[in-house]
Amino acid sequence: DGGITQSPKYLFRKEGQNVTLSCEQNLNHDAMYWYRQDPGQGLRLIYYSQIVNDFQKGDIAEGYSVSREKKESFPLTVTSAQKNPTAFYLCASSIVGGLSGYTFGSGTRLTVV
């Protein structure tokens, strides 16, 4: 079945450590996205990539980094510079342009202690 796989489902890290969240898709989609979900704030866009080896900052990119070396993969690193990293992180993908909507993964809940 085609879909998006995010791993792990739950992640715990100590403050000050960088952590990388995995996102893999087998939908043959060109575009991939990372969102952060916080209660009462909906989903906010962190980074997105429309094509391999290219990506753009979203609305809340500070303290995050990404890479897009393969079409299928779009890992997100939460760095120690992110002031409030504890959140639910959602990865999504779409055809180029994304005008018909996105397909979402099941998310990773990151807790920094």
Partner 1 sequence: AQSVSQHNHHVILSEAASLELGCNYSYGGTVNLFWYVQYPGQHLQLLLKYFSGDPLVKGIKGFEAEFIKSKFSFNLRKPSVQWSDTAEYFCAAIMIYNQGGKLIFGQGTELSVKP
Q: Give me the residues that bind partner 1 (CB under 8 A), please.
A: 31, 33, 35, 40-45, 48, 50, 58, 90, 92, 96-102, 104-107
Residue with Cβ nearer partner 1 (7 or 106): 106
Residue with Cβ nearer partner 1 (18 or 26): 26
Smallest separation, CB 19 to partner 1 (Å): 21
Residue with Cβ nearer partner 1 (16 or 39): 39
Dihedral of the CA atoms 39, 43, 15, 70 (nearest 10)? Answer: 150
Smallest separation, CB 40 to partner 1 (Å): 6
Nearest to 96 by CA among 23, 28, 35: 28
Smallest separation, CB 57 to partner 1 (Å): 11
Please name the helix (run of DSSP H) or strand (run of DSSP E) that holds residue 113, with its range, or none.
none
Q: Coil, strand, or helix at residue 37? A: strand
Smallest separation, CB 16 to partner 1 (Å): 30
Max CA-CA distance within the chain? 39
Cβ 33 vs Cβ 48: under 8 Å: yes
